């Protein structure tokens, strides 16, 4: 650990002493001629106003759409953007870790994505982004959905497309750390199901007294390529439901997910004979509570999830052998911004743990992150993560930018 700090400290200190400056701002800010700070505190973390903006189908919740941003085609039922809204997020890092190869690694760019979003009509919006480069690969479309706001004049919202199943819990795309929320990503061998991206429909309804309900119906097998023109690789669907209640600075929620997936043509070893193949049906279940407590300066987020798989194939077992498997996962995050929503500094502690009797789910880390906002749309980070499972540290410095 000392060796890592000595390697990175001169670069980190120099970068954090750079002066604040203004810079270009992404698509929504350009459109409304507002600073990124209107919706964001420490980019990409959202303020309450930013949450309201996104929940209003990417339209200002307290003002009409500016006519200057649309083409006057003589049709009151057409909202045609004068300039197509597009923005770029560009992240890069330098990482140091104790390993055999690539000990000191320039991970630049770590990710480059093209983002677009905005209204299609007064109560319908869209959002999507295309990952041009994610750890050296073209990942393609991830978030891509149409958002129907205030359906039938009620507080019901409907989103149709592909999105993260965990978005109603804690949004991975809005975290301040390089280290991820592993409890949402982890899955055993063969399974396509986890709580990251999937295709489906999500319904949300909010009550004035702080109760929020979110339900989803999903393919249950991620956002891979279609097979024969069909995206769902089996006949099973997955369903999730979340309920949360806000009470002042505290929000408490509960989440449940269940779906079936089919593993096709799994090869099993056959003692005394040739290997055999078979189809296996697996039921995936998640459940657990979550909590947020805090204010504009300090926030604590916590998530516990149990995942249960009814039938996971094991290719090393005999013909027809499957097994049950369980995972227990915890994510705990503490965010401190000494200047509140306008803070140019942020400090984050993140704890990840997933475990089970099997080795598939072993993950155990603790991370410390320091962020410095150099511009409203440019954030420098320094982060140290200690792998408690392998007893090895890694560290990174880098930047997150949007323009």
pLDDT tens, position by position, 336-384: 999 998 999 999 999 999 998 876 688 999 999 999 999 888 999 999 9
Q: Phi and psi for 9 in degrees, rounded to 5?
A: -60, -45
Question: How high is the pLDDT of residue 156?
Answer: 96
Question: How high is the pLDDT of residue 13?
Answer: 43
Q: What confidence tens digit (pLDDT) does each residue in 258-307 have? A: 999 988 877 777 777 777 787 888 999 999 999 999 999 999 999 999 99
Question: How high is the pLDDT of residue 3?
Answer: 54
Using pLDDT thresholds of 50, 70 and 90, give the confidence band for residue 319: low
> Cα separations (Å) of 51 from 41, 68, 393?
12, 24, 35
* Percent of the chain predicted with pLDDT > 90: 56
Q: What confidence tens digit (pLDDT) does each residue in 185-226 have? A: 998 878 889 999 999 999 999 999 999 999 999 999 999 888
What are the residue ranges spanned by the domains of the chain?
168-324
Distance of CA 84 to the CA centre of its chain: 25
Higher pLDDT, 234 or 22: 234
Q: What is the mean pLDDT of residues 136-160?
A: 93
- Among residues 21, 93, 51, the alpha carbon closest in space to that of 341 is found at 51
Q: How far apart are CA 86 and CA 57, in angstroms?
A: 16
Q: What confidence tens digit (pLDDT) does each residue in 67-123 have? A: 888 888 888 888 888 888 899 999 999 999 988 788 999 999 999 999 999 999 989
């Amino acid at each position: 650990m000392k060796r890592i700090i000595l390697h990175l400290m001169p670069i980190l200190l120099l970068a954090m002493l750079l002066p604040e400056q203004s810079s270009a701002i992404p698509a929504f800010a350009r459109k409304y001629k507002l600073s990124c700070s209107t919706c964001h505190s420490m980019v990409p973390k959202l303020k309450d106003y930013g949450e309201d903006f996104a929940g209003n189908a990417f339209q200002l919740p307290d003002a009409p759409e500016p006519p200057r941003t649309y083409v006057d085609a003589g049709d009151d039922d057409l909202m045609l953007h004068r300039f197509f809204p597009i923005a770029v997020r560009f992240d890069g890092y330098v990482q140091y870790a104790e390993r055999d190869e690539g000990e000191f690694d320039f991970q630049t760019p770590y990710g480059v994505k093209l983002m677009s979003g905005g209204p299609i009509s007064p109560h319908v919006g869209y959002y999507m982004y295309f990952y041009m480069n994610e750890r050296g690969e073209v990942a393609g479309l991830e978030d891509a959905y149409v958002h129907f706001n205030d359906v039938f004049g009620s507080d019901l919202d409907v989103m149709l497309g592909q999105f993260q199943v965990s978005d109603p819990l804690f949004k991975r795309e809005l975290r301040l750390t390089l280290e991820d929320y592993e409890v949402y990503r982890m899955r055993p061998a063969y399974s396509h199901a986890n709580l990251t991206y999937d295709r489906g429909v999500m319904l949300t309804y909010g009550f004035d007294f702080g109760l929020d309900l979110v339900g989803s119906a999903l393919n249950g097998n991620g956002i891979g390529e279609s097979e024969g023109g069909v995206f769902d690789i089996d006949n099973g669907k997955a369903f999730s439901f979340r309920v949360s209640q806000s009470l002042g600075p505290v929000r408490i929620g509960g989440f449940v997910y269940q779906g079936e997936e089919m593993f096709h043509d799994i090869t099993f070893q056959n003692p005394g004979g040739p290997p055999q193949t078979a189809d296996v049906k697996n039921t995936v279940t998640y459940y657990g509570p979550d909590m947020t407590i805090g204010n504009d300066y300090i926030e604590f987020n916590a998530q516990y999830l149990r995942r249960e798989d009814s039938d996971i194939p094991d290719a090393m077992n005999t013909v027809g052998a499957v097994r049950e498997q369980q995972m227990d996962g915890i994510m705990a995050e503490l965010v401190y911004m000494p200047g509140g929503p306008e803070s140019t500094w942020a400090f984050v502690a993140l704890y990840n743990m997933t475990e089970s009797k099997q080795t598939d789910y072993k993950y155990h880390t603790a991370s410390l992150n320091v962020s410095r906002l150099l511009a409203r749309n440019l954030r420098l980070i320094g982060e140290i993560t200690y792998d408690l499972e392998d007893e090895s540290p890694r560290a990174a410095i880098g930047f997150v930018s949007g323009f």
